[in-house]
Structure 1
């Protein structure tokens, strides 16, 4: 290690103990006095050496609080890291012209030993000296250096104790800051949980016990003081979501893969909610120790999404399904019918006389007619059917296989009567009826478009023959009378 590197190491060690420029301390003062008394000198000091000066942590005799480092005899001990004695500095070529020899305090005798600090890795680094000085020459003895070295051990013990105390104080401060940070993060987490309507949980696999954050108690509408109802947690999930949640947990335990699901939820106060749950495994020493996860109240988002989905598939005027939703449901029902080797029917409805109502009584009266038609299509007679408004004055009905051909005829008779509507407005009277085209899915029809074309052909024939009646599409013969 070079001299500059060694000097940097010494200065770093000195800085770390923060001893420079500190107030006098009784222990160091007593040590300097003891050295002075034991060796019978007029001066003594516990000296620390920084890059520019020697500073006395403790001193006895006519010594200034600090001096420049350059001419200081202690600097020689500091840099050589070895004890040094000088019988008469005025006769020593190294120090004869030294300002502290020719001037105050007129040093003649000097004896100094290094004061070292033990590092965390076990190495020792010199940070200063313990020395005695006198203005009269004297011949040093081995006993002088031995006593001084033993006193230096005490000085090192004091410095070491101070360093340990300093490190302990720093560690305590770090712990305090860590505790404050954890408490701050805990408060921030609680705020985040409240804002996001969520909470976290941890289920100890071995102990079969669960811990909840405050947010989970809030979602369950349970007081924190009541504790986690370990044996009843799944009861907050109604079926089939309870089974789905339990199946997800078991898959996670078996495969180690996390899961995420949305489920219905009933709080301790009986309020229905929608929640999102996540779950994953916490490992300890490579083995599953706990299930950890998050539960979030997404009721508002779910309700909004449900409203948006409803709007996307619902006719705004009549609140029946719209054209897009009708086509989606028709394709689904056709797939199900084919799989079950069953047939269903589609009814296309066109209102007769509707344009005259709009022209004579206004669009408000026309809208009222459309709403009345929708209300009648919601009657119990059509409970098993799927009804929709395709647009304008066109409506459609999907009749399930359960109704059958025998049950369809009386239903259509009932429908034609329901579609016979009398409108009165401002002393004027108008009448609206409905024509119906019927098509069955028998014959291997693969798509809803084909079935709707058949129903439309039957509707056209009904209107051509006699408005306010129904016709059924027949392959080859095109259409026939209703039923």
Structure 2
């Protein structure tokens, strides 16, 4: 696709989500602050790229509300649709003469990742970035982009939620349901704001004694009057995090290198939490005298991230995995197969007669059919078999690695029977069946795209032959599909 066509799609996507030039929103501000704090930079932003300018939906540090697009960093991320790190912009010929480098805000370090939006048609378009910047050069670490990409997923989920709200305004009922969902998400993001529940501690190396601030007692759910417990402190960390924490502390004592880690945690009252722990050496006259650090309750943020990851990987209607999660799991299974010279079977399933259900019985009945199909796929997919809804009335299954071709044939026959669904209502009866295309990774050269194309070819060969049946992709000596 030509650059001007991609640019046109990007601007259409921006117009559809109606996010440009909107007032500040705390949810976006929280994400920008998280990026700045977690990476320890002077500046951060969530940036949208308009035709002639870059506009900051959220920003931290000495950044203007918007700037020209020319010679800026974020447009490079958007145009290449790839993460970008710049250790020292003065040494990078792309940016050395940029006014943002030679003048305010005097950018030296930059790390940014794409932020994407899903259009109503289903295609995904890069519309901006989530980035951090600093006035001092620094070498990027492997985790910089990982942190930004995790936070960018949250930004994309929030943008998607806003877009859904706009589209849902078509009917009052859809608007009500979407507003409720957005309000739930708003509450979740407000929970993330309150994650700065922390306390400090100090371990005196010579006296071998520990002191806590009140915040540490609160996180442990212990009374301040009871003092710091003795040897049982480590019991709050379940394994394997306990061993990891102890090893990290000993390494800090031996080398002087600080550490930071996240860990599971159980309070004195038995409540399970997630905490972030940091530790470093306190020096006095060049001698190590104490370990000092922070412990922070990040349970709400951690749980929020887990829920959002689930939402990003799950189809709302059926609660099956969505297309993106299906591709991720299939890629992992193919890597396993390649490592052991194994085989992976994929089933592509298309529902026959589904349109008649929608036309004669209504979309509510169609949704009920999709949920029934999902339930039956789940019931039949034991072990490592993995079902997903790819979209519309299309489903897919990655079969368990321990199934041979006989086992797959048995599984397919059962599925064909289970996918026969009869719906009635309003004086009408509609029948739905499933047609299945089967492909094996060994035939596809362990290539995901080829495997799915072959399964698709087998599916449509089965449809041409007789709907409600299954066919396996095979090739003859001339590499022609034979059934």
TM over 0.5: yes
The CA distance in 1 between the partners of 2:393 and 2:384, in whole Å, is 23
Gaps of at least 5 residues in structure 1 are 1-193
CA deviation string 1:27-86 (max 9, x = no partner): xxxxxxxxxxxxxxxxxxxxxxxxxxxxxxxxxxxxxxxxxxxxxxxxxxxxxxxxxxxx
The CA distance in 1 between the partners of 2:255 and 2:412, in whole Å, is 56
Measured on the aligned residues, the alpha-carbon RMSD in Å equals: 2.1
TM-score (norm 2): 0.56
The CA distance in 2 between the partners of 1:479 and 1:236, in whole Å, is 61
- Alignment match, 2:237: 237
C-alpha contact (below 8 Å) 2:384/2:399 kept by paired residues: yes
The CA distance in 2 between the partners of 1:412 and 1:206, in whole Å, is 69
The change in CA–CA distance for 1:246 and 1:415 in structure 2 (over 3 A counts) is farther
1:235 shift after superposition: 1.8
- 1:338-357 correspondence runs (5 A): 338-357=338-357
CA deviation string 1:345-380 (max 9, x = no partner): 111111111011111111111011111111122226
Q: Does 1:365 align with 2:365?
A: yes
The change in CA–CA distance for 1:325 and 1:205 in structure 2 (over 3 A counts) is same
SS of structure 1 residue aligned to 2:320: coil
Question: Which stretch shifts more, 299-308 or 354-363?
Answer: 299-308
The change in CA–CA distance for 1:416 and 1:241 in structure 2 (over 3 A counts) is farther
Paired residue total: 288
- Alignment match, 2:220: 220
SS of structure 2 residue aligned to 1:257: coil
- Alignment match, 1:405: 405
The CA distance in 1 between the partners of 2:250 and 2:384, in whole Å, is 38
C-alpha contact (below 8 Å) 1:264/1:273 kept by paired residues: yes
SS of structure 1 residue aligned to 2:473: strand
The change in CA–CA distance for 1:376 and 1:239 in structure 2 (over 3 A counts) is farther
C-alpha contact (below 8 Å) 1:221/1:267 kept by paired residues: yes
- 1:319-398 correspondence runs (5 A): 319-379=319-379, 381-398=381-398
The CA distance in 2 between the partners of 1:211 and 1:289, in whole Å, is 14
- Alignment match, 1:436: 436
- Alignment match, 1:77: none
The CA distance in 2 between the partners of 1:306 and 1:324, in whole Å, is 17
The CA distance in 2 between the partners of 1:345 and 1:428, in whole Å, is 38
- Alignment match, 2:283: 283
The CA distance in 1 between the partners of 2:341 and 2:235, in whole Å, is 40
C-alpha contact (below 8 Å) 2:441/2:447 kept by paired residues: no
SS of structure 2 residue aligned to 1:357: helix
The change in CA–CA distance for 1:402 and 1:289 in structure 2 (over 3 A counts) is farther
CA deviation string 1:275-304 (max 9, x = no partner): 111111112332322221111111111121
SS of structure 2 residue aligned to 1:397: strand
- Alignment match, 2:457: 457
- 1:13-92 correspondence runs (5 A): none
The CA distance in 2 between the partners of 1:469 and 1:322, in whole Å, is 24
The CA distance in 1 between the partners of 2:459 and 2:284, in whole Å, is 71
The CA distance in 2 between the partners of 1:253 and 1:340, in whole Å, is 43
SS of structure 1 residue aligned to 2:233: helix
The change in CA–CA distance for 1:227 and 1:402 in structure 2 (over 3 A counts) is farther
1:195 shift after superposition: 8.1
The change in CA–CA distance for 1:444 and 1:228 in structure 2 (over 3 A counts) is farther
1:479 shift after superposition: 5.8
TM-score (norm 1): 0.56
Displaced runs of 4 or more, over 4 A: 477-481
1:218 shift after superposition: 1.0
The change in CA–CA distance for 1:453 and 1:223 in structure 2 (over 3 A counts) is same
